[in-house]
Chains A and B, each alone.
Chain A
């Protein structure tokens, strides 16, 4: 059964100054699904995420071309007021370092209540009660006490939970989580990912989970999009992508991780480095590092092949 997508990004191009950063990204997310967006640093994951929320630093960033639709509405055509409505009521975002998005001079409880007051009710006492409920829901022990705390009085894991509580305050249909656990210990990472997964199941919320950790995506996401050099190079259901990667970059990436290799053996390394925007080669951006490179790879951007289920851009796919 096909369900119409909640969010669609269609052929998005974004420049930083005159250098292209995002070069034709297309993605879609269905209601209630968790889509993983993976890639090495600088490939454009965060820029893509920020563009959905229209939170790009413009300038130097500039959306040159493309379309982003949320539930049929054209995000790129929205007024500031409409965008505020969208961010408050439909889409919420959490980041790697919650400290930068929490206000250090207000208590956690006040910060959550603030969001509730903005979008849900005008009753202060109700908002404060809702804040405590939300802190409880995200698994913070003694939520009444925690509501009185300032961000610096909490651990990294608790701050991330508090951020999630703020994000939930407006019952979003889409949660964008940009490296939400990268700064956390593995045992705390597991707690936060379980929490996000629970909330997805319970509230039917769609999640865009951005990470560079292939293991995280494999265990939590239904579908995965792999980015390289400002493009989505391969997209498929997670099981399929991890057992049957077809793009040569995805394949190389999966082969090189230590966990995929017996201890002590030389890792099948990918030579070279990720090219920064402005220095990306012609054709397939991965070609200088690819051992399956054909002549055409150096000249022409690979066409989109495969089907809706598994699509990719590679001239010499596995």
Chain B
């Protein structure tokens, strides 16, 4: 069953001196109940913009976000509030997103308070359950976030996100700032809770090996667009789009020979994107048509690909 359906979502940021940045163009994506969809791409490709605009933490410039069939883009703030219970987000830097003056009990219980759920005692009870759930000690309740390590703070952020029993969580680089040994603890925790509570997750990361580990399906983004989408293992084992192929070969893996072909150049400035296929300035397989015409994301025998090498 489709829980969330994103249709042609776009976001234009208006910078100073009238500069326009098209951070997100025509992104369509759906997430089934209990599904984990990974979004991967290099810095600035629009991952966070996607995560935030689908929650309306920033206002999309166009498109629809259907949550359980209802478009939340045109909703007024007041109509949006009940929706917020179902849609939560976890950020990369838990320090930045947790109020340093509040005790952990308050930080985790705050969403319950805001939504007027339960009595004070019931909320306390729920907070205690949540602490257990994410593997924090009960005495954390009376301590401050800064007394905790990065991994533990991420547990606090996860407990807070779970307080309202959401149906969908956007995890934006939720494990990216953590050390390897802590990262695997948090990945395990997220995966366990996801299964136990049957939550859908939009898992955003620049790290393909993390994305591969947790996601049922993945979307690869380049300069504000999805360029390839499909079942995780299919894409990883048989990447179709030239960008996905380059991205995969650039990841240094333990025990593997390094890639001989290194992608030249860098991601172009999104304020001034290349014509046609935005990847054409770096693509090893570029053709004339690529410079003029933008390829659409089209379903293929495997997943969907936006590239002129495939039937358009």
Contacts and interface: CB of A to CB of B under 8 A. Distances in A.
Nearest to A139: B264
Interface string A233-269: 0000000001100000000111011111101101111
Given A41-B179, A187-B42, A267-B184, A258 B252 contact: no
A212 interface: yes
B257 interface: yes
A117 interface: no
B237 to A, nearest CB: 11
A185 B43 contact: yes
Contacts of B192: 266
B29 to A, nearest CB: 20
A274 interface: yes
A156 B269 CA distance: 12
B28 to A, nearest CB: 25
Contacts of A193: 252
Given A190-B250, A219-B258, A259-B254, A266 B191 contact: yes
B182 interface: yes
Contacts of A256: 180-181, 184
Nearest to A218: B254
A242 B255 contact: yes
A220 interface: yes
Interface in B218-239: 232-233
A218 B255 contact: yes
Interface stretch (B92-100, B204-212, B289-297): B204-212
B42 A259 contact: no
A256 B257 CA distance: 21
Interface string B181-213: 110110110011000000000000010111011
B191 A269 contact: no
A86 interface: no
A256 B181 CA distance: 7
A79 B60 CA distance: 60
Contacts of A190: 250, 252, 258-259, 262-263
B80 interface: no
Contacts of B214: 263-264
Bin chain B's interface residue count: 35 or more
Secondary structure of the A contact surface, majority rule: helix
Nearest to A213: B252
Contacts of B254: 214-215, 218, 242, 254, 257, 259-260
A258 B250 contact: no
Nearest to A258: B213
Contact of B256 (A213, A219, A270): A219
B151 interface: yes
B267 interface: yes
Interface string A264-292: 10111111011000000000000001000
B251 interface: yes
B233 A252 contact: no
A271 B152 CA distance: 12
Given A190-B262, A252-B181, A259-B253, 6 more contacts: A40-B182, A186-B251, A214-B254, A263-B232, A269-B181, A270-B185
28 contacts: A185-B206, A185-B266, A185-B267, A186-B206, A186-B247, A187-B247, A187-B266, A191-B262, A194-B262, A215-B253, A215-B254, A216-B252, A218-B256, A219-B252, A219-B253, A253-B180, A254-B254, A257-B209, A258-B209, A259-B212, A260-B254, A263-B232, A264-B214, A266-B191, A267-B187, A269-B184, A274-B181, A274-B182
The 3 closest A-B pairs by CB, nearest first: A215-B252, A185-B42, A40-B179
